């Protein structure tokens, strides 16, 4: 993962940090990752309370213990404590890790604390087999909850009643699988009466619960079913054999108006309804596959509620439901039209999943010809002198787990254009233009380019992001722009009184909004309500809580107008004539991009130098051959004063390009237009 540019590296960045919060990118830097995303990384460790930090560099995937044992100071500390009959414990973010914790889950250059304690570690620390799959972490309090306050449930009681335990788990396995692999829990934990619960919540997770992202970063405690609870459950099971089953939409439990009567499937109110008239009662049939659908929705709902609580500072489920209803009502106004949805689906084919040698993932999209646009921070750490040092690929058809490698294109080593700094207009730029390596592939296999859909960025209204958040299959997220004048309100809604300490510049040039697109979605195209390309998703403003957890406030993007201007200026500076000709030809296809070309020509004239001769000549020659030449001529006549152009030509009489421009502006009508007027007369 590329690290953010510090103020020491870029003095302008220090002023940027005066804004809403720290600017961060959105590539995978938290604890949810997949095998192979982090091969080479570094972290630090401190021994006991010593201040000195030791660095460890991992060159392959393995456990934390394996990584630590490559460093001599740790080996000495480990051997000395083993001679005393002690074990080591690893502390991270004030929580204890298992020694077989995957080292690649560490954030780059993170620091952990190594301590010793009496007794055996009582965990699997050697020979652990690393599996492929998505990994999340959650936490279990070392002090038990209901009916377990005084119970010792850890193999080493010295760990009891200290700090929470950090547990890592694979998506799709059960809670029991994760706890058994952890190795620190006694056998009695797995005997059926113990479950997990977050303090203050009703939701219970028994050990057979399948791990999903609902568990991510959650702090839970072990609780035990009491004797009376167990007796009540047994009695209920005897009187109602179906009570232990999972809820089914066809069942009538919990709905008094439709409770089943003995010996029949009709509601108990059937007779009353029948008395009012035969047409009032209609049979209710079960929706096909409704059990499976309901199960999926219920699994997703809890995670959504938690996310909405966190983002909007809600404490009750009913508040979240009202919020969901309100936001859904807004979203549907902008993106519910069938025609709009179809167009979005067609445009989504141009969005690609970008992967840097199985390590870092991001999003990009086909801008023009065979060139894709993405964020520079995705490839920054692997680029030297504008050359990619690792293999990078782009996949356009990653819409399900089975299609991840469909229509995959290698990317050429040379970075065509890019910027990760402030431009001459004092706007932060973070973009990279990469070229697809055609090899034996045909251009016809490429989806349509999106540049022709460009429109200037609106000040407010609905937008839609299309990308690959979390490195997963392609997704869409309709949301709304947060205008600069409304950002303070967004802060207040998020933090309440607690946000008053944050420094924030309401005049920031950033384009802001709120979305659920975080890691892996950098480089996603942002489309307006009429499916126009307006910006590129770049990152989030966030701050760290006391517990170290990141809290996302607002997301930001870079307007396509700024990116296009800087692309043209960079091609001009580097004299990339052939590439410039391709870009100009594409920009001449729509009125909005033609306006960008006109402003680019005007910019060249204001700072005219003789070495710009070939650039201007390429622009004018290419534009004259395109259908939009008359629109460009009209725009140029509006923004270039004739007297200024004459003065410039007189000062540079030998300039062929300036004379070409003058002649181009003098052309009033084409021969076809003349013939049509004659025929009309």
pLDDT digits (tens, 9 = 90+) for 312-358: 556 665 565 555 554 444 444 567 778 888 899 999 999 999 999 86
pLDDT(67) > 70: yes
Q: How far is CA 286 from CA 248, 250, 404, in A?
A: 10, 6, 35
Dihedral of CA atoms 511, 517, 522, 526 in degrees, nearest 10, equals -50
Mean pLDDT of 244-262: 36
Asked if 499 contacts 313 with a C-beta cutoff of 8 angstroms, the reply is no
Alpha-carbon gap, residue 558 to 642, rounded angstroms: 34
Q: Which stretch of DSSP H or E encloses residue 125?
A: none
pLDDT at res. 413: 95
> For 119-143, what is each residue's pLDDT tens digit?
665 565 444 566 667 899 999 988 8
Asked if 416 contacts 445 with a C-beta cutoff of 8 angstroms, the reply is no
Mean pLDDT of 102-108: 84
Non-local (6+) Cβ contacts of 588 within 8 A are 594, 597, 622, 623, 626, 627, 628, 629, 632
Three-state DSSP at 203 gives coil
Q: Which stretch of DSSP H or E encloses residue 33?
A: strand 33-34
DSSP state of 281: -
Non-local (6+) Cβ contacts of 137 within 8 A are 31, 32, 105, 166, 167, 168, 169, 216, 217
Identify the band that residue 649 occupies on the pLDDT scale cut at 50, 70 and 90.
very high
Please provide the CATH number assigned to the domain covering 342-561.
Answer: 2.40.10.120
Quote the radius of gyration of the chain (alpha carbons, Å): 31
Non-local (6+) Cβ contacts of 271 within 8 A are none
Alpha-carbon gap, residue 550 to 537, rounded angstroms: 19
pLDDT at res. 376: 95
What are φ and ψ of residue 431, in 5° steps? -145, 155
What are φ and ψ of residue 104, in 5° steps? -75, -5
Transcribe 135-154 into DSSP letters: EEEEEE-SS--TTTTT---B
Q: Which of 130-144, 447-461, 606-620, 667-681 has the lowest mean pLDDT?
A: 667-681
HEC sequence for 377-388: HHHHHHEECCEE
pTM for this structure?
Answer: 0.53
Identify the band that residue 532 occupies on the pLDDT scale cut at 50, 70 and 90.
very high
pLDDT(25) > 50: no
pLDDT at res. 507: 44
> For 185-224, what is each residue's pLDDT tens digit?
888 888 878 989 887 777 888 899 999 888 988 899 999 8
Average pLDDT taken over every residue of the chain: 76
Q: ∠ CA 596-597-602 to the nearest 5 degrees? A: 100
Identify the band that residue 161 occupies on the pLDDT scale cut at 50, 70 and 90.
low
Could you tell me which residue, 143 or 277, shows the higher pLDDT? 143
Q: Tokens standing for 410?
A: 């290698």
Q: Which of 322-331, 405-414, 545-554 has the lowest mean pLDDT?
A: 322-331
Alpha-carbon gap, residue 617 to 294, rounded angstroms: 64
pLDDT(279) > 70: no
Mean pLDDT of 181-186: 89
Mean pLDDT of 251-273: 37
Q: Are strands 110-118 and 41-47 parallel, antiparallel or unpaired?
A: parallel
Q: How far is CA 121 from CA 154, 177, 184, 409, in A?
A: 10, 19, 8, 48
Alpha-carbon gap, residue 324 to 540, rounded angstroms: 22
Could you tell me which residue, 367 or 304, shows the higher pLDDT? 367
For 70, what's the count of Cα atoms within 13 Å in the CB-facing half-sphere? 15
HEC sequence for 60-110: CCCEHHHHHCCCHHHHHHHHHHHHCCEEEEEEECCEEECCCCEHHHCCCCE
Asked if 512 contacts 481 with a C-beta cutoff of 8 angstroms, the reply is yes
Could you tell me which residue, 243 or 115, shows the higher pLDDT? 115
pLDDT at res. 636: 93
Strand order in the sheet with 360-368: 408-410, 392-395, 351-356, 360-368, 371-374, 428-435, 417-422
pLDDT(19) > 60: no
Alpha-carbon gap, residue 456 to 453, rounded angstroms: 10
Surface-to-core class of residue 215, CB atoms within 10 Å of its CB (0-12 exposed, 13-18 middle, 19+ buried): buried
HEC sequence for 353-416: EEEECCCEEEEEEEEECCEEEECHHHHHHHEECCEECCCEEEECCCCCHHHCCCCEEEECCECC
Maximum CA extent, the chain: 108
Mean pLDDT of 29-38: 41
Q: Tokens standing for 453?
A: 């859909």
pLDDT at res. 608: 93
pLDDT at res. 531: 93
Share of the chain above pLDDT 90, in %: 34
Three-state DSSP at 202 gives coil
pLDDT at res. 82: 86
Q: Which of 169-173, 496-500, 517-521, 542-546 has the lowest mean pLDDT?
A: 496-500
Q: Are strands 86-92 and 110-118 parallel, antiparallel or unpaired?
A: antiparallel
pLDDT(15) > 70: no
Alpha-carbon gap, residue 594 to 601, rounded angstroms: 11
Three-state DSSP at 558 gives strand
Alpha-carbon gap, residue 391 to 520, rounded angstroms: 17
Tokens 């940027």 appear where?
A: 16
Alpha-carbon gap, residue 110 to 106, rounded angstroms: 7
Dihedral of CA atoms 162, 164, 167, 172 in degrees, nearest 10, equals 140
pLDDT(426) > 60: yes
pLDDT(593) > 90: yes
The domain spans of the chain are 30-227, 295-335, 342-561, 575-679
For 440, what's the count of Cα atoms within 13 Å in the CB-facing half-sphere? 0
Transcribe 172-185 into DSSP letters: TSBHHHHHHHH--B
Mean pLDDT of 626-652: 91
Alpha-carbon gap, residue 329 to 276, rounded angstroms: 37
Could you tell me which residue, 101 or 507, shows the higher pLDDT? 101
Give me the residues paired with residue 190 across strands: none
What are φ and ψ of residue 18, in 5° steps? -80, -10
Alpha-carbon gap, residue 394 to 410, rounded angstroms: 6
| Helices 613-624 + 656-666 axis angle, to 10 | 30
What are φ and ψ of residue 589, in 5° steps? -90, -10
Three-state DSSP at 278 gives helix
């Amino acid at each position: 993962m590329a690290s953010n540019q510090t103020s020491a590296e870029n003095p302008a960045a220090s002023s940027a940090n005066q804004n809403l919060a720290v600017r961060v990118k959105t590539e995978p830097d938290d604890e949810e990752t997949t095998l192979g995303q982090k091969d080479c990384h570094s972290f630090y460790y401190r021994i006991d309370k010593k201040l000195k930090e030791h660095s460890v560099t991992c060159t392959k995937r393995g456990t934390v213990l394996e990584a630590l044992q490559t460093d001599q100071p740790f080996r000495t500390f480990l051997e000395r404590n083993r001679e005393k009959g002690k074990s080591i414990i690893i502390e991270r973010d004030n929580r204890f890790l298992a020694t077989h914790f995957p080292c690649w889950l560490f954030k780059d250059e993170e620091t952990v604390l190594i301590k010793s304690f009496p007794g055996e570690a009582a965990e699997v620390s050697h020979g652990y087999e690393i599996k492929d799959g998505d990994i999340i972490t959650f936490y279990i309090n070392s002090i038990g909850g209901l009916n377990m306050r005084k119970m010792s449930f850890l193999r080493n009681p010295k760990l009891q009643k200290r700090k929470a335990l950090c547990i890592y788990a694979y998506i799709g396995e059960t809670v029991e699988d994760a706890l058994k692999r952890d190795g620190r829990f006694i056998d009695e934990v797995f005997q059926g009466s113990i479950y997990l619960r977050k303090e203050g919540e009703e939701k219970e997770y028994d050990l057979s619960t399948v791990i999903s992202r609902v568990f991510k970063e959650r702090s839970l405690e072990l609780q035990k079913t009491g004797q009376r609870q167990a007796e009540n459950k047994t009695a209920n099971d005897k009187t109602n054999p179906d009570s232990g089953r999972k809820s089914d939409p066809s069942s009538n439990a919990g709905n008094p108006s439709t409770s089943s009567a003995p010996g029949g499937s009709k509601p108990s109110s059937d007779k009353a309804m029948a008395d009012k008239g035969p047409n009032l009662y209609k049979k209710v049939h079960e929706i096909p596959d409704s059990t499976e659908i309901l199960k999926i929705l219920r699994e997703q709902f809890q995670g959504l509620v938690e996310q909405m609580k966190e983002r909007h500072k809600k404490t009750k489920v009913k508040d979240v439901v009202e919020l969901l209803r309100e936001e859904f009502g807004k979203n549907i106004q902008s993106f519910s039209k069938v025609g709009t949805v179809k167009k979005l689906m067609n445009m989504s084919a141009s969005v690609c999943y970008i992967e840097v040698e199985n390590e870092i993932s991001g999003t990009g999209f086909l801008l023009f010809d065979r060139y894709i646009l993405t964020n520079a921070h995705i490839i920054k750490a692997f680029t030297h002198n504008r050359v990619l040092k690792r293999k990078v690929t782009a996949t356009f058809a990653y819409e399900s787990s089975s299609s991840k490698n469909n229509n995959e294109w290698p990317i050429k080593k040379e970075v065509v254009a890019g910027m990760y700094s402030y431009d001459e207009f004092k706007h932060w730029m973070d973009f990279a233009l990469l070229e697809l390596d055609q090899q034996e592939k045909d251009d016809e296999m490429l989806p349509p380019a999106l540049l022709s859909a460009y429109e200037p960025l609106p000040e407010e209204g609905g937008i839609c992001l299309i990308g690959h958040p979390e490195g997963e299959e392609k997704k869409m997220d309709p949301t709304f722009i947060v205008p600069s004048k409304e950002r303070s309100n967004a802060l207040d809604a998020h933090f309440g009184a607690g946000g008053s300490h944050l420094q924030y510049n309401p005049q920031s040039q950033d384009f802001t909004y709120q979305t659920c697109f975080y890691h892996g979605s950098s480089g996603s195209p942002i489309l307006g309500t009429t499916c126009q390309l307006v910006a590129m998703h770049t990152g989030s403003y966030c701050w760290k809580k006391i517990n170290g957890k990141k809290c996302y406030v607002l997301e930001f993007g870079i307007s396509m107008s700024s990116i296009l201007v800087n692309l043209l200026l960079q091609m001009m500076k580097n004299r990339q004539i052939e590439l410039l000709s391709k870009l100009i030809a594409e920009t001449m296809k729509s009125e909005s991009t033609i306006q960008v070309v006109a402003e680019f020509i005007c910019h060249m004239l204001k700072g005219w130098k003789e070495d710009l001769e070939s650039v201007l000549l390429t622009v004018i020659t290419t534009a004259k051959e395109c259908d939009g030449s008359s629109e460009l001529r009209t725009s140029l006549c509006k923004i270039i004063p004739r007297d200024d152009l004459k003065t410039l030509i007189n000062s540079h009489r030998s300039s062929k390009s300036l004379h070409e421009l003058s002649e181009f502006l003098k052309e009033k009508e084409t021969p076809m237009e003349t013939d049509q007027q004659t025929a009309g007369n």
